[in-house]
Structure 1
Amino acid sequence: MRFGKGISAKRLAEILGVSKAMVSHYESGRYKPSAKVIIRLERFFGIPAGELLAESDAEEDYRRLGSSERPTR
């Protein structure tokens, strides 16, 4: 999502109040964001939390399957 907005990991980290490394962990699926961070993501991207969580589940499925194609929504 951040790529679509043309925003760097550093800038998103500042917006979310977390480290750049934590943004990387969220994006890789290593860690899940806290409720507070999800609310900040929701506000910044203008996407309901349910959709954010559904997208992260799809990304997790994609990584787990090792698919060469990204999931579509």
Structure 2
Amino acid sequence: MRYRLKEARLKRQLTQQEVATYIGISQRNYCDIERNKSNPSWTVAQRLENFFGVPASELLAEGEEEPV
């Protein structure tokens, strides 16, 4: 799970659909990225970085458990 990505989304009180629409991908694709079932293209990673204002390397870092 990519907890930082999920955390950034929840901090803004956004749904997966809202983020997906903004960055131009399907909700399913976004869900797969957030759950670490697929990797975003470079372009999508850049859109996520611009949207959240956090480096993509931080947003997309993998974690085994949710941070406390």
Which range, TM-score by smaller chain? 0.7 to 0.9
Q: What TM-score do the two structures reach when normalised by structure 2?
A: 0.77
Name whichever structure is richer in helix by fraction.
Answer: 1
Structure 1 stretches lacking a partner, 5+ long = 63-68
- Residues of 2 paired with 1:8 and 1:70: CA distance? 19
RMSD: 1.5
Q: Choose between structure 1 and 2 for higher RCO, CA contacts under 8 A separated by at least 6 residues.
A: 2
Q: What TM-score do the two structures reach when normalised by structure 1?
A: 0.72
Specify the structure having the higher radius of gyration (Cα).
Answer: 1
Partner of 1:29: 36
Q: How much identity, in percent, do the aligned residues show?
A: 34
Amino acid at match of 2:15: S
